[in-house]
Amino acid sequence: MTTELPADVPRSNGELLFEFPWESRAFGLAVALADAGALQWDDFRAELVDAIAGRDPDAPYRYYEHWLTALERALVSTGVVDTKTLVASVRSVMEHKEH
């Protein structure tokens, strides 16, 4: 793997911990895009730091929601995907409840 995972990635007994299937998919997508060279890991990590820092301190802390926000921002800011395409994709996924 060409990526160095952030220290605060949820783990249990050293193994990555995902509460919902979408979390592992978002994780895998970010890592795969970085390993393929389509996403700069440092850009993603900077977005992740910003997403976590900007969170509502009164809201429950859900790490992978910030991960997904950072991934979306990094993909748009680096031109991997445009906002219109991203919004359409998110809408499509949200319409299928099994995701």
* pLDDT tens per residue, range 7-50: 788 998 889 999 999 899 999 999 999 999 999 999 999 999 99
Number of domains in the chain: 1
- Tell me whether residue 55 is in a domain: yes
Cα torsion 63, 93, 38, 42 to 10°: value is -20
> Is residue 14 domain-resident?
no
pLDDT digits (tens, 9 = 90+) for 67-98: 999 999 999 988 888 888 877 877 777 777 66
Q: Taking 60 as the threshold, does the pLDDT of residue 99 lie above it? A: no
**Which residues form the domain of 74?**
37-98
Per-residue confidence at 1, pLDDT binned at 50, 70, 90? Answer: very low
